Amino acid sequence: MTYHEENDIQNLKKLRSIISSLPTYCEDFFRGIEPRTSSKTRIAYATDLKLFFDYLFRSGQVSDIESITLDMLSSLKIIDFEKYMEWLKCWTDESGNENTNGEKAIARKLSTLKAFYKYFQQNERIIINAASLVLPPKLHDKEIIRLDSDEMKAFIQAVETGGSLEGRERSFFEITRKRDLAIIMLLLTTGIRVSECIGLDINDVDFKNSGIKIYRKGGKEETVYFSDDTREVLESYIEERKQVESIKGHDNALFLSLQNKRISTRSVEDLTPKYARLAGIQKKVTPHTLRRSYGTALYNATGDIYLVAGTLGHADVNTAKRHYVALEDEKKRGNRNAVKLR
């Protein structure tokens, strides 16, 4: 099986484990949304629903989760959902750990409930759907962090040279240098997501057409093309990769950890701040920062928002517009004195 097929199976097992702790009718909901959602999305829905049912139990509205019926859910009022949203801002779990949720997380959890209620209302198993009338929290736009061209060059140079690393850190760097450079160049010159990057197999790389086969959100297969500079780095890395004997089950993985297993999302997420620090970049740099930086550079070079949306794999072009068309305002402001009348 491919990495993505294995990942789906593991997600399915995790999903079944969560569903087993929910009322039995929840199985119908997940069966109903399966054709339109990924396994990862369904896990997020299941986790959100479990938290909601836990809240009903902890707030004393039910004696146990298994006893929650659809009629009881139908009887909930708008005020009950508003109290739940207030509770989500700060709550303590069974282990005594304090948890918090920002406005985006609360809005997502409310969206899960709306989808849940809508499914059973459409199937005429819930009569009153108060969840559909609940207003989501107001979302405030956060500053979008990108790297400019000079910062991107400094970032790449840090990955190539290791900057000021010494001793043991320098030794580890020499072992992973070609791998790290290949990963960073792919992220910075294609805009792929971390999940798409770590899921790459060796045979997904097509040097003849300078492309890589990736799996987008929802499992859609797509080819993304890389630059000549990235091609050179990838070729060098793959020659080194062929000499490494990976652990069984990870033979086809393109990028390996030091344990010779497929590299994890967390490992790639740890790379970006490390090299940003070596490059002297003060911004908070994540893999998604590199994705945005590529999108910005592509939009500045082409001015084609539809090309940017398609290249980055945005299902809705409006998502790309929110991130990149704002740059037009910067250009307009920068050229406000371009035409001189006196």
**Token duo for residue 166:** 């010494």
User: How confident is the model at residue 305, as a pLDDT?
Assistant: 86
- For the residues 14-42, what does the mean pLDDT come to? 95
* More confident call, 278 vs 331: 278
pLDDT, greater one: 48 or 321:
48
Asked if pLDDT for residue 322 goes beyond 80, the answer is no
Name the least confident of 58-67, 149-158, 182-191.
58-67
Average pLDDT rounded to a whole number, residues 267-292? 95
Exposed, middle or buried: residue 326 (CB in 10 Å: 0-12, 13-18, 19+)? exposed
Beta-strand runs (E) in 144-264: 205-206, 211-215, 221-225
CATH number of this structure's domain 149-334, picked from the four choices 3.10.450.230, 3.40.50.10490, 1.10.443.10, 1.10.10.60: 1.10.443.10
Cα angle value 273/276/278 (rounded, 5°)? 115
Q: In the numeric block, which tokens belong to residue 145?
A: 């962090």
228-256 pLDDT tens trace = 999 999 999 999 999 999 999 899 999 99
For the chain, the domains span 3-133, 149-334
Separation between Cα atoms, residue 102 and residue 90, nearest integer Å: 9
Which contiguous run of DSSP H or E holds residue 90? strand 90-92
User: Which range in 197-206, 293-302, 330-339 is most confidently predicted, on average pLDDT?
Assistant: 197-206
Tokens 């090299």, located at residue: 275
Contact of 230 with 190, CB cutoff 8 Å: yes
Please provide residue 3's backbone torsions phi and psi, each rounded to the nearest 5 degrees: -55, -40
- Which residues does 133 contact at the CB level (< 8 Å), separation at least 6? 78
DSSP 8-state secondary structure symbol assigned to residue 91: E
